[in-house]
Amino acid sequence: MGTPMQNIKQKRDEALVRIIGKGYQSTRRVYVGMATCEIAAGSMEGMDVFKAAIAKGLPDVYISQKGCAGRCNLEPTVEVCEEGKIPVKYGKVTVERANEIIERHLKKGEIISEWVIR
């Protein structure tokens, strides 16, 4: 056991590793709608696509879930937030659309306007 200051520094270092490891400092965030109705509409499959892309090395992306957006007719929904930009909300996100969002929006910076919820 070290000095109190060494213990504090060790705890701080451990916390930083957890924060960085979970992606909390990422400049890009993806929120998948996971309310009951969105899950029924297929959002779990879309979430799996985003998680797999991150696991395969898609850089600087934090993935999380969000609650009900009140837009049942547009479910499943996905919101992409990038530092310094207006968030983009996509509707009716299937597995295929999730893959396209990864390839076109997250990798190339292209907003897929025909899927955007306005």
What's phi and psi for 99, nearest 5 deg? Answer: -65, -40
Containing domain of residue 100, as a range? 26-115
Q: What's the structural domain count of the chain?
A: 1
Q: Is 11 a domain residue?
A: no
Q: Is 84 a domain residue?
A: yes
Predicted local confidence at residue 50, as pLDDT: 97
**Rounded Cα gap, residues 10 and 2, in angstroms:** 10
Q: Is 20 a domain residue?
A: no
Residue type, position 91, single letter: G
Q: Is 15 a domain residue?
A: no
Q: Is 17 a domain residue?
A: no
What CATH number should be reported for the domain holding residue 99? 3.40.30.10
**Rounded Cα gap, residues 99 and 109, in angstroms:** 14
Q: Is 91 a domain residue?
A: yes
Q: Is 86 a domain residue?
A: yes
Residue (of 31, 36, 17) closest to 93 by Cα position: 31
Predicted local confidence at residue 82, as pLDDT: 94
For the whole model, what pTM was predicted? 0.82
**How confident is the prediction along the chain (118 residues), in pLDDT tens digits per residue?**
789 999 989 888 887 777 666 666 789 999 999 999 999 999 999 999 999 999 999 999 999 999 988 888 999 999 999 999 999 999 999 999 999 999 999 999 999 999 999 8
Predicted local confidence at residue 78, as pLDDT: 97
Predicted local confidence at residue 20, as pLDDT: 66
Burial 25-63 (b: 16+ CB within 10 A, else e): ebebbbbbbbbebbbebbbeebbebbeebbeeebeebbb
Q: Is 54 a domain residue?
A: yes
CA torsion sign for 72, 41, 34, 97 is negative
